[in-house]
């Protein structure tokens, strides 16, 4: 301990003295310090399969950090030999800085495509040399990793124009030097024009003009790799001389061959003409045998050295240089053994006790003359010249098939064999196939199915069948079966065959859905009281629920017997009702509005949020939202006023507005925009004020007040019920608007009737005057700001009762056309968005029938409803022509039309009393909802599965009905 402590004190003293001395040079005179310490590399091995640019990571250790140049070498034989590698990118290749141990991490990129083609297992050596001295440090190698680079095709010239050539069609010929890499084609161009593709290795281009030209061609492989680009530069001048052709030997022996009659193949090309013939020979130079073919077979040659010569001649008699190939014919070795391979036949277990075997023989120096075959006999002893042989019947057990081939010199191949075992085949289950029966949709609720069973090792005993029961459980021995009556909806037919051994087949199935025939009644609901009830309009909500409005007198019960059964009573003569039904026809809710006068809900439309917009007539005072916080009383200014009301989706009252004057003013139609604003239309017969007391208050002046004539009005209301604008139209006679539809761009189209003449957009620059024929239908389009866009009239004695919008801006109208002889005919018509007529259809009869409402489906089809008297024919002259006859004075009719106006179907409902259909709407699934009233006993869906009879207990009863597409 003491000696160690003394040594430590001595060293510490020396260190302190050294620190106190002035600085002196540590370099002894004449001693050279090594200025560039040797660098060192530590390489990492890339993981996974590499391709293209390979990033290599390494650590560079330098004592002085003065910079090193980095080089790469690669090896594909495990490091036995090394070749220079192409380096690029990464941290660089020159003056790369390192630090003292542990060094600094660097990267360098190896361009493997430049060095390795195809699949190779590689190592890479990273070498650092000092940038200034060039001193090589200690390199390092990566471990082995796999490089997979796509193969690049290579092409070379056979023949091309060179120098100066004449202005003739020129031929360029090349050859493919890497046939092991298939190409998808060759791409060539002249003077940088867009490349053209060819599958040939020769192309002739039209004569280029005088001057210098450049032709290029390259190959593209199926992997997307492109070959080297061949380029030929030449000058066209008619003073040039004919260029000679060229020829290349493409096939034939080179070196030694045992073939004494060798065949040679060659191809010639002429840049400014065509190759006509060839001179060929063996051992004769120049060749002297004239031939036009691209191949030639020599006569028998003796053993020894020989040379094949070929020379091409072009269409102008100029010869190519002579091309030759030397070869030596040697005598063949002794006769070699043939060989044989079994190509088909059982191996392992088979149930075939007469198995067939196929085999193929080959002989390298002759040909096969036949085969010896056998079962369990080695060597085989049955001679055959065929390439297949079928064994005689074998008992159960193991066997071996043997085959030997024999060549033309009687030499046999080695024996080839295949072992197998014949076993008893298991019992095979039967199979069954459904032959006929509905698939998809069907109207047949008792469908019949036919089927057929097959059993390869027995017979079919019978079948198990069922509808919607799996596995099927109904036994039958017949090949057909008719289902009992099925409900509407999807179903599956199941069938399973059973054979004589009791084995069952797999179960075959066929899916189908039973649907109602077009226009069939799905359900019908009523609301009844002791007096009169009537449905006037119906609308569908986004969720499939249904809104309906109308009027009633006395007490009436909606949804009788249902969970939401509701009875309401009128306060005066007639009250308005608004009811919502679920998609299955059950009542959701019903509300009333009215007073001592006569209130009617004449039209309803649904907003996307499920709320309802209603318009109609208001007489004296009517109360809306009675008992609710926003209960509202409206009082008519004259005899009858217009009202517009909104109810929320749950039936609570939102708002109500009135408009009118001292005369009779009625709202006949309403339509809603996506933003919740609405357009209302109808008529007024004295000056009428809209938006009373609001900033936009507007008074419309009737054209002819002295005779009580009515004019048309169109008014737009904001989502909160305030007036946006109101516009009049009309003339000196009676003019009424009875329906409106709206479009997503804010425009609206109305329809109705007028007499004499009428002005639409009065006072506007674009006001329109149209003249009537007696009582004439009009259709008029208004822009979003209320200005008139256009107006048209039918030009016949008619009335427009309903209108529906299509998504392309067109509209469907309905109403009646009057005849002085037969009364009224029902009509439906489509008008383009410009107002022009697309098509018109009528249902003709001899009484007073009319269509009162129309609705459009998303596919462009439409449905109308109305009243039917006597007999009317729908779709006259069409394939689906349908006559309908009313049972009473008036019946209800519903008719659907295809997008082109042809009749889809027509149905009637009613009884011996008066029955009318007033409102209809279209559901997204193609079904229709209708409303109106019936008296006495009325039959809906007569003769159908859902036929229903309703009986009114009062004067008339309200109905709502759903019909299939």
Read off the pLDDT band of 28 (50, 70, 90). very low
Find out whether 288 and 273 touch, Cβ atoms under 8 Å. no
Read off the pLDDT band of 854 (50, 70, 90). very high
Partners of 329 in the β-ladder? 257, 304
What CATH fold (topology level) applies to the domain 155-236?
Immunoglobulin-like (2.60.40)
Rounded CA separation 793/526 (Å):
38
Rounded CA separation 792/770 (Å):
7
Longest dimension (CA), the chain: 147
Q: Which of 525, 520, 601, 564 is nearest to 933 (CA)?
A: 525
Does pLDDT of 378 surpass 70? yes
Mean pLDDT of 669-687: 97
Domain segments of the chain as ranges? 40-149, 155-236, 246-329, 339-422, 431-494+508-514, 521-963
Does pLDDT of 432 surpass 90? yes
Check if 155-236 and 521-963 are the same fold.
no
**Which pLDDT value is given to residue 685?**
92
DSSP state for residue 706 in the 8-state scheme: G
Does pLDDT of 63 surpass 90? no
- The hierarchical CATH code for the domain 40-149 is 2.60.40.10
pTM for this model (two decimals): 0.58
Read off the pLDDT band of 361 (50, 70, 90). very high
| Span 735-750, pLDDT tens digits | 999 999 999 999 999 9
Mean pLDDT of 195-212: 92
CA atoms within 13 A on the CB side of 506: 3
Partners of 812 in the β-ladder? 804, 830
Does pLDDT of 180 surpass 80? no
CA atoms within 13 A on the CB side of 164: 7
Does pLDDT of 546 surpass 90? yes
Does pLDDT of 588 surpass 80? yes
**Which pLDDT value is given to residue 32?**
38
Query: SS3 for 682?
Result: strand
Read off the pLDDT band of 36 (50, 70, 90). very low
Radius of gyration of the chain (CA): 50
- The hierarchical CATH code for the domain 246-329 is 2.60.40.10
Does pLDDT of 71 surpass 80? yes
Read off the pLDDT band of 37 (50, 70, 90). low
**Which pLDDT value is given to residue 642?**
98
* Range in 143-157, 267-281, 933-947 with the lowest mean pLDDT: 143-157
* Range in 19-28, 395-404, 710-719, 836-845 with the lowest mean pLDDT: 19-28
| DSSP string across 216-241 | EEEEEETTS-B-PPEEEEEEE-TTSP
How large a percentage of the chain has pLDDT more than 70? 96
User: Which class would CATH give 339-422?
Assistant: mainly beta
Count of residues in the chain: 965
Rounded CA separation 631/613 (Å):
17
Does pLDDT of 25 surpass 80? no
| Span 857-905, pLDDT tens digits | 999 999 999 999 999 999 999 999 999 999 989 999 999 999 999 999 9
The matching CATH number, chosen from 3.40.50.2000, 2.120.10.30, 3.40.50.2300, 3.30.310.50, for 521-963 is: 2.120.10.30
The strand ranges marked E within 114-159 are 118-130, 140-141, 145-149, 155-159
Residue 252 exposed, middle or buried by CB count within 10 Å (0-12, 13-18, 19+): buried
Read off the pLDDT band of 680 (50, 70, 90). very high
Q: Which of 243, 249, 303, 301 is nearest to 274 (CA)?
A: 243
Rounded CA separation 35/24 (Å):
20
Rounded CA separation 957/963 (Å):
19
| Span 320-358, pLDDT tens digits | 999 999 999 887 777 788 999 999 999 999 999 999 999
**Which pLDDT value is given to residue 6?**
41
**Which pLDDT value is given to residue 551?**
97
**Which pLDDT value is given to residue 366?**
87
Read off the pLDDT band of 159 (50, 70, 90). confident
Q: Which of 716, 823, 714 is nearest to 758 (CA)?
A: 714
How far are the Cα atoms of 584, 733, 848 from residue 776, in angstroms, in the given order? 40, 12, 17
**Phi, psi dihedrals of residue 752, rounded to the nearest 5°:** 175, -140
The matching CATH number, chosen from 1.20.120, 2.60.40, 2.40.360, 1.10.3470, for 431-494+508-514 is: 2.60.40
The two tokens of residue 593 are 């509005």
The residue that leads in pLDDT, 767 or 4, is 767
Query: SS3 for 660?
Result: strand
**Which pLDDT value is given to residue 247?**
93
Rounded CA separation 233/237 (Å):
14
Read off the pLDDT band of 7 (50, 70, 90). very low
Rounded CA separation 753/755 (Å):
7
Q: Output the 3-class SS for 286-348.
A: CCCEEECCCEEECCCCCCEEEEEEEEEEECCCCECCCEEEEEEECCCCCCCCCEEEEEECCCE
Find out whether 539 and 611 touch, Cβ atoms under 8 Å. no
Q: Output the 3-class SS for 29-62.
A: CCCCCCCCCCCEEEECCCCCCECCEEEEEEEEEC
Does pLDDT of 12 surpass 70? no
Mean confidence (pLDDT) of the chain: 91
Query: SS3 for 10?
Result: helix
| Span 250-270, pLDDT tens digits | 999 999 998 889 999 999 988
Mean pLDDT of 684-695: 96
Mean pLDDT of 97-106: 85
**Which pLDDT value is given to residue 959?**
98
């Amino acid at each position: 301990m003491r000696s160690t402590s003394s040594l430590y004190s001595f060293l510490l003293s020396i260190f302190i003295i050294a620190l106190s001395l002035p600085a002196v040079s540590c370099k002894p005179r004449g001693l050279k310090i090594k200025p560039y310490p040797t660098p060192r590399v530590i390489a990492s091995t890339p993981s996974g399969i590499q391709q293209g640019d390979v990033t290599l990571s390494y650590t560079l250790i330098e004592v002085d950090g003065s910079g090193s140049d980095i080089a790469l070498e690669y090896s594909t034989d495990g490091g036995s030999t090394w070749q220079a590698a192409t380096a690029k990118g990464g941290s660089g290749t020159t003056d790369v800085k390192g630090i003292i141990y542990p060094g600094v991490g660097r990267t360098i990129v190896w361009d493997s495509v430049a060095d390795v083609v195809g699949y190779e297992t590689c190592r890479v050596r990273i070498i650092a040399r000092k940038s200034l001295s060039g001193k090589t440090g200690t390199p390092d190698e990566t471990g082995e990793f796999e490089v997979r680079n796509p193969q690049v095709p290579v092409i070379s010239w056979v023949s091309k124009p060179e120098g100066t050539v004449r202005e003739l069609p020129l031929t360029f010929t090349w050859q493919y030097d890497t046939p092991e890499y298939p190409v998808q084609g060759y791409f060539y161009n002249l003077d940088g024009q867009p490349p053209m593709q060819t599958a040939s290795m020769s192309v002739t281009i039209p004569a280029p003009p005088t001057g210098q030209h450049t032709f290029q061609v390259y190959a593209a492989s199926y992997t997307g790799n492109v070959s080297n680009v061949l380029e030929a530069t030449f000058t066209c001048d008619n003073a040039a001389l004919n260029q000679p052709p060229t020829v290349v030997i493409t096939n034939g022996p080179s070196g030694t061959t045992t073939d004494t009659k060798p065949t040679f193949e060659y191809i010639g090309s002429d840049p400014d003409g065509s190759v006509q013939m060839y001179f060929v020979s063996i051992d004769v130079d120049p060749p002297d045998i004239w031939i036009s073919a691209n191949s030639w077979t020599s006569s028998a040659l003796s053993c020894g050295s020989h040379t094949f010569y070929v020379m091409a001649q072009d269409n102008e008699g100029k010869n190519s240089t002579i091309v030759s190939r030397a070869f030596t014919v040697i005598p063949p070795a002794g006769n070699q053994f043939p060989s044989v391979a079994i190509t088909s036949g059982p191996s392992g277990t088979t149930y075939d006790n007469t198995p067939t075997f196929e085999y193929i023989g080959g002989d390298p120096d002759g040909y096969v003359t036949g085969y010896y075959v056998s079962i369990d006999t080695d060597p085989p002893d049955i001679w055959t010249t065929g390439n297949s042989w079928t064994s005689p019947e074998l008992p159960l057990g193991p066997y071996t098939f043997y085959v030997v081939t024999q060549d033309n010199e009687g030499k046999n191949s080695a024996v080839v064999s295949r072992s197998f075992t014949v076993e008893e085949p298991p019992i095979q289950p039967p199979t069954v196939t459904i032959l006929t029966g509905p698939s998809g949709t069907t109207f047949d609720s008792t469908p019949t199915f036919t089927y057929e069973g097959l059993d390869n090792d027995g017979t079919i005993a019978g079948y198990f069948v069922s509808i919607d029961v799996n596995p099927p459980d109904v036994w039958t021995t017949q090949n057909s079966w008719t289902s009992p009556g099925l409900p509407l909806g999807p179903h599956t037919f199941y069938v399973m065959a059973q054979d004589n051994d009791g084995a069952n087949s797999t179960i075959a199935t066929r899916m189908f859905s039973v649907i109602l025939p077009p226009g069939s009644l799905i359900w019908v609901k009523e609301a009844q009281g002791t007096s009169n009830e009537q449905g006037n309009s119906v609308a569908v909500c986004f969720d499939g629920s249904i809104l309906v409005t109308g009027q009633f007198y006395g007490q009436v019960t909606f949804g009788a017997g249902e969970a939401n059964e509701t009875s309401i009573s009128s306060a005066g003569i007639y009250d308005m009702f608004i009811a919502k039904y679920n998609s299955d026809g059950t009542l959701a809710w019903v509300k009333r509005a009215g007073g001592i006068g006569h209130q009617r809900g004449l039209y309803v439309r649904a907003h996307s949020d499920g709320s309802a917009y209603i318009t109609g007539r208001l007489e004296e005072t009517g109360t809306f939202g009675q008992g609710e916080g926003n209960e509202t009383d409206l009082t008519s200014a004259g005899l009858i006023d217009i009202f517009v009301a909104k109810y929320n989706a749950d039936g609570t009252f939102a708002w109500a507005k009135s408009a009118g004057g001292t005369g009779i003013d009625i709202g006949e139609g309403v339509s809603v925009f996506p933003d919740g604003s609405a357009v209302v239309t109808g008529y007024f017969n004295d000056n009428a004020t809209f938006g009373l007391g609001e900033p936009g208050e507007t008074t419309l002046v009737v054209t002819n007040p002295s005779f009580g004539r009515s004019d048309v009005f169109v008014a737009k209301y904001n989502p909160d019920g305030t007036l946006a604008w109101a516009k009049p139209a009309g003339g000196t006679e009676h003019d009424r608007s009875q329906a409106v539809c709206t479009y997503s761009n804010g425009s609206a189209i109305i329809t109705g009737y007028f007499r004499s003449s009428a002005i639409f957009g009065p006072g506007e620059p674009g006001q329109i005057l149209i003249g009537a024929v007696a009582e004439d239908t009009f259709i008029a389009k208004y822009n979003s700001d209320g200005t008139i866009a256009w107006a048209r009239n039918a030009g016949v004695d008619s009335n427009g009762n309903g209108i529906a919008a299509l998504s392309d801006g067109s509209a469907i109208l309905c109403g009646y056309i009057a005849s002085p002889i037969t009364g009224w005919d029902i009509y439906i018509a489509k008008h383009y968005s410009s107002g022009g007529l697309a098509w018109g259809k009528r249902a003709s009869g001899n009484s007073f029938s009319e269509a009162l409402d129309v609705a459009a489906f998303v596919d462009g089809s439409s449905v109308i409803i109305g009243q039917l008297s006597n007999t009317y024919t729908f779709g006259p002259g069409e394939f689906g022509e349908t006559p309908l006859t009313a049972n009473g004075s008036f019946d209800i009719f519903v008719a659907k039309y295809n997008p082109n106006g042809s009749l889809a179907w027509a149905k009637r409902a009613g009884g011996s009393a008066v029955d009318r259909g007033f409102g209809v709407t279209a559901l997204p699934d193609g079904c229709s909802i209708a409303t109106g009233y019936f008296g006495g006993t009325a039959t809906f869906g007569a003769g159908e599965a859902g036929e229903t009879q309703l009986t009114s207990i009062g004067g008339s009863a309200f109905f709502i009905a759903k019909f299939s597409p």
